[in-house]
Amino acid sequence: MAFFTYLMKWALACLLLLALIPLPRAGNSVLLVKVDGEITDATRMAVEEALSIASSQGYRLVVVELNTPGGEVDAVKRIMELIEGSDVPVCAYVYPIGASAWSGGTFVLMSAHVAVMAPGTTIGSCQPTVGWEPVNYSKYVNALSELMVAHAKLHCRNETAARAFVEENLNLEASKALEYGVVEMIASDLTQLLAMLSQKKLVQFSDEAGNVRWKLVNKDESVEGKVLKEFGFEGIQDASVVDYQPGARTLFMSVLLNPLVCSLLLVVGLGLLFIGIKTPGYGAELCGAICLILALIGFGVIGISLATVIFFVLAFSLLIAEVKTGVGILALFSAVCLVIGALFLFPSPNWLLYPGLVEQVRWVLTGVAIAVASVFGFIAYKVAETKRMRVKVGMETFMGATGIALTDLKPSGEVRVKGEVWKARCLEGTVNEGEEVIVKGIEGLTLLVVPKQKKEEG
């Protein structure tokens, strides 16, 4: 317990030292976020974390590189809300050449402050689907159509094309999208994009009807209406481009939110839980319970905040049970729960912390969990090893002991065993005075012995 207390104090000291680390400033830098593949809640987390980093470190621009077939409606809507509420301008860029941003990708593109496509890329096909079947219910189609139009209007883009993306599954390649006023620029790569952007400025203004809108214009151009915000991009062509690297939480969630992984966790969890109930004491029931909780998180039944509480409560409960029982397996599962809880900890919008610090806190908690599990595992191993040793007390300690015959044993006499004189009876043949004997049994206060030499020969 003293070691455990020392370990916890060390962990708290590390967290306090990390909190004193000054927040870095990016300066003339652009943060690049790649969305490659289906858009899920893990994608939303990555964008959320990237925008938080950009805001806290002073990046000039966030470029979201899109190459996606679409994804979950809720995740796409949350990403759109995050982009619209971002303190840092966001540029959605359909890239590389030949890529596409269909369905949900087009929604994200229309919500960005700056929309750019690479040559040979396509957008569109935004009608909602369930599996491979298109959804024709007007309730859903109209809602998504108006959502697309609202964002197009907010950014001074073609509202007719925006509606057609959803209602008619309109598809546009880069040059047509530029011609129809759906995107602001076409750029072959990020270098060209930044060079073109350096001649522009982003203006938020209020039009004659009082509507707040965004528009990308030439840096010497003015807009009609009251200017509310203005972002200049002078010198951005020389900006350093920083690739956003997802944290452990985002990577973990990207795996966990995979439908196949969720299904496997559910099946394996139920199987392990059943095995654990039938054969308790080996930890199968705990492993099954953890798999089931993770599966419910992946299916969206349990929220991340609630899951964090569940895993931390479970971790400390198992740790207390380990201290009381000393079985060892409980400490291992306590560490597993603590690590999983640490991965879920500190969602970016709810904590005023530098995201890099959050990642360091997660690693410290993970290290503490592994250290605690190692210590308790070692203690449990030693305890189990001690329990496996047969406890010998009293006369049992003479079993197998070697002694010296003080008299001839024909068959009875006296022997010296462990420095004491005992009456003895030879079970096999006779023993002469001075010969060695081995104790084979006890009968009252008489030792039952055999000649050592004969035993060795046998």
One domain, residues 203 and 300: no
The model scores a pTM over 0.75: no
Angle at 128 between CA 125 and CA 131, to 5 degrees: 105
One domain, residues 152 and 174: yes
**Does residue 257 sit within a domain?**
yes
Longest dimension (CA), the chain: 126
Cβ-contact 47, 211 below 8 angstroms: no
Tokens 């079993």 — which residue? 399
Q: What is the dihedral of CA 14, 17, 18, 20, to 10 degrees?
A: 170
SS3 assignment, position 261: helix
Last residue of a domain, one of 367, 388, 409: 388
Last residue of a domain, one of 194, 216, 243: 243
Last residue of a domain, one of 243, 265, 299: 243
Q: Is 39 exposed, middle or buried (0-12, 13-18, 19+ CB in 10 A)?
A: buried
Please give the Cα distance from 362 to 49 (Å, whole number): 15
Residue 289 domain boundaries: 248-388
Q: Is 202 exposed, middle or buried (0-12, 13-18, 19+ CB in 10 A)?
A: buried
**Does residue 86 sit within a domain?**
yes
Please give the Cα distance from 328 to 330 (Å, whole number): 5
Please give the Cα distance from 450 to 189 (Å, whole number): 93
**Does residue 16 sit within a domain?**
no
- Confidence (pLDDT) at 185: 97
One domain, residues 56 and 190: yes
What length does the chain have? 458
Q: Exposure pattern of 305-330 as b/e (b: 16+ CB <10 Å)?
A: eebbebbbebbeebbeebeeebbbbb
**Does residue 69 sit within a domain?**
yes
First to last CA, the chain: 52
One domain, residues 239 and 255: no
One domain, residues 320 and 238: no
* Paired sense of beta strands 212-218 and 200-206, if any: antiparallel
One domain, residues 232 and 270: no
Which candidate, 170, 190, 182, places its Cα nearest to that of 115?
182
One domain, residues 380 and 412: no
One domain, residues 326 and 197: no
Output the tens digit of pLDDT for each of the chain's 458 residues. Answer: 444 454 444 454 554 444 444 445 557 899 999 999 889 888 998 999 899 999 989 999 999 999 999 988 999 999 999 999 999 999 999 999 999 999 999 999 999 999 999 999 999 999 887 666 777 888 889 999 999 999 999 999 999 999 999 999 999 999 999 999 999 999 999 999 999 999 999 999 998 888 999 999 999 998 888 999 999 999 999 999 999 988 767 777 778 877 788 888 888 888 888 888 877 767 788 888 888 888 888 887 787 778 888 888 888 788 777 767 666 677 777 778 877 877 776 544 333 344 454 555 555 656 665 665 566 566 655 655 665 555 455 566 778 888 999 999 888 999 999 888 889 999 888 888 889 999 988 888 888 999 987 555 44
Structure tokens at 183: 């995107």
- Write phi, then psi, for 204 (nearest 5 degrees): -105, 125
**Does residue 78 sit within a domain?**
yes
**Does residue 252 sit within a domain?**
yes
- Confidence (pLDDT) at 18: 45
One domain, residues 80 and 211: yes
Half-sphere exposure of 189 toward its Cβ, with a 13 Å CA cutoff?
3
- Confidence (pLDDT) at 398: 77
One domain, residues 226 and 260: no
SS3 assignment, position 31: strand
Which candidate, 305, 373, 361, 368, places its Cα nearest to that of 334?
373
Give the CATH number of the domain where residue 49 resides.
3.90.226.10
- The total of structural domains in the chain comes to 3
One domain, residues 407 and 423: yes
- Confidence (pLDDT) at 276: 82
Tokens 């306590």 — which residue? 334
One domain, residues 153 and 221: yes
Cα-Cα-Cα-Cα dihedral sign, residues 200, 202, 207, 211: positive
